Chains A and B, each alone.
Chain A
């Protein structure tokens, strides 16, 4: 049997790793998006007692290597009597870490949001919550679409770190096959193919979403 035939016969391991990666990615990136939106909402208005600690937290996360955060959640939290299994530690770490990146991307766009539109909303009787979710946030998301697409790819790649805290995902599957049959080159080439394929599909979807915003004058696709 050639090395490639060995991998083919073990394809079920790849698939299960792949689905596990996609599950982790889908769940954590959705949570990260909501965390980013929530943080942007909390940063609205001028309550320094809330906004200053939040900004420090966001920056603290962004300046932290992702792997350290994953370690901290998996190995560090039990010291405080909080025990998460490897899977939930990984999902939690990804969600919080990329949530902070999302928040920072949104915050940058919020700074250049036209104040006249907020005035128009106030003049029409809008209060903070509805104004934010119906008028500000949709525009911020459309405007930051290319950056969000980029962040999705970062998040996908960061799922590979979770192999180190024993999550059984795609990279773990490749690792195990590489070790069992001593064929690291082929095994890792296969996972590269998986990561590339998912990234390319995401790029296409994000690009298609660009048409939606281009129609409204937000960008040019």
Chain B
């Protein structure tokens, strides 16, 4: 266990993580430390394993080997080394907030209730408290006027901003973003990235899988590059984008610029 509230505290610690799908190794012995308050962006071409890595962190995918700790608490495996009971797993999961590429809002609930659903029915908050918090979060993501709207009436960018508010409502220790702008029309990407940038300025711990290079450079404390399931480069954004140490990353950046 870690001491609380030290600035160097580890938010997420990933050790020796490996995962295969049907004999294909998607992650190979991945190690990653994310400190509290840090923004880590994960880059890499499609199929490099970056989404799988993110989805392992909240156990949507179960790794074959290795361990993941969230705020000192191991996820998925209990102290006896056995698979975690469902309820316990749900509790650890709730310490992370996840934003999906395809939003995954619940269409039968309006915007406000999408946000209050889990705080009320998972965390056991009162309706009044959950709604007050939800309205604050809607304000933060610029969606207050749409509190009563249903998801099917929103644009992709609006849906994603609501999804971000929904994840924040759980007061997670770490936010996980799985290609949050990849399903958006180009003109809607900016509004979502702006919200994520604001969150980074507020000190949220975030792990972002993305293809947006300029964004990654602007918000990251650390950039991680995955290639065929291996982390081949891990650096501060300045070093990563101007002076990468591997040929693979140099090629990747050149292609992105062209």
Q: Contact flags (1/0) for B116-155 with A, using CB distance below 8 Å?
A: 0110011100000000000000000000000000111100
Total CB contacts across the A-B interface at under 8 A: 79
A125 touching B93, Cβ below 8 Å: yes
B121 touching A130, Cβ below 8 Å: yes
Interfacial residues of chain B within 47-95, with CB under 8 A of chain A in the complex: 58, 60, 86-87, 90-91, 93-94
What is the total number of residues of chain B having a CB less than 8 Å from a CB of chain A? 31
CB distance from B109 to the nearest CB of A (A): 8
B150 touching A217, Cβ below 8 Å: yes
Residues of chain B lying within 8 A (CB to CB) of residue A120: 98, 100, 104-106, 163
B104 touching A117, Cβ below 8 Å: yes
Partner of A126, one of B90, B98, B108: B90
Partner of B86, one of A114, A127, A134: A127
Q: Assess A116 versus B102: contact at CB under 8 Å? Given A126-B121, A130-B122.
A: yes
Decide yes or no whether A138 CB sits under 8 A from chain B.
yes
Q: Contact flags (1/0) for A94-114 with B, using CB distance below 8 Å?
A: 000000000000000000001
Residues of chain A lying within 8 A (CB to CB) of residue B153: 217
B107 touching A123, Cβ below 8 Å: no
B107 touching A218, Cβ below 8 Å: yes
B118 touching A116, Cβ below 8 Å: no
What is the total number of residues of chain A having a CB less than 8 Å from a CB of chain B? 24
B108 touching A216, Cβ below 8 Å: yes
CA distance A217 to B107 in the complex (A): 7
CB distance from B179 to the nearest CB of A (A): 13
A122 touching B93, Cβ below 8 Å: yes
Decide yes or no whether A198 CB sits under 8 A from chain B.
no
B166 touching A215, Cβ below 8 Å: no
CA distance A217 to B152 in the complex (A): 6
CB distance from A132 to the nearest CB of B (A): 12
CA distance A116 to B104 in the complex (A): 6
Decide yes or no whether B158 CB sits under 8 A from chain A.
no
A139 touching B108, Cβ below 8 Å: yes
Residues of chain A lying within 8 A (CB to CB) of residue B117: 124, 134-135
The secondary-structure label for the interface of chain A is helix
Decide yes or no whether B170 CB sits under 8 A from chain A.
yes
Decide yes or no whether B18 CB sits under 8 A from chain A.
no
A124 touching B118, Cβ below 8 Å: yes
Residues of chain A lying within 8 A (CB to CB) of residue B163: 120
CA distance A215 to B108 in the complex (A): 9
Residues of chain A lying within 8 A (CB to CB) of residue B93: 122-125
A116 touching B86, Cβ below 8 Å: no
B121 touching A134, Cβ below 8 Å: yes
Decide yes or no whether B167 CB sits under 8 A from chain A.
yes
CA distance A216 to B152 in the complex (A): 6
Decide yes or no whether A119 CB sits under 8 A from chain B.
yes
CB distance from A20 to the nearest CB of B (A): 36
Decide yes or no whether A83 CB sits under 8 A from chain B.
no
CA distance A142 to B117 in the complex (A): 19
CB-nearest residue of chain B relative to A134?
Answer: B121
Residues of chain B lying within 8 A (CB to CB) of residue A218: 107-108
Interfacial residues of chain A within 129-181, with CB under 8 A of chain B in the complex: 130, 134-135, 138-139, 142
27 residue pairs bridging A and B, Cβ less than 8 Å apart:
A114-B104, A116-B100, A117-B106, A120-B98, A122-B60, A123-B60, A124-B93, A124-B94, A124-B97, A124-B98, A124-B167, A124-B170, A125-B118, A125-B122, A126-B118, A126-B121, A126-B122, A127-B90, A128-B86, A134-B121, A135-B106, A135-B108, A139-B108, A215-B150, A216-B151, A217-B151, A218-B107
Task: For the A-B complex with A116-B100, A120-B106, A216-B108 known, give 20 more contacts whose Cβ atoms are closer than 8 Å.
Answer: A119-B60, A120-B105, A122-B58, A122-B60, A122-B90, A123-B96, A123-B97, A124-B94, A124-B97, A125-B90, A125-B122, A126-B121, A126-B122, A135-B108, A139-B108, A142-B108, A216-B107, A216-B150, A217-B150, A217-B153
Chain A contact residues, CB within 8 Å of chain B: 114, 116-117, 119-128, 130, 134-135, 138-139, 142, 213, 215-218
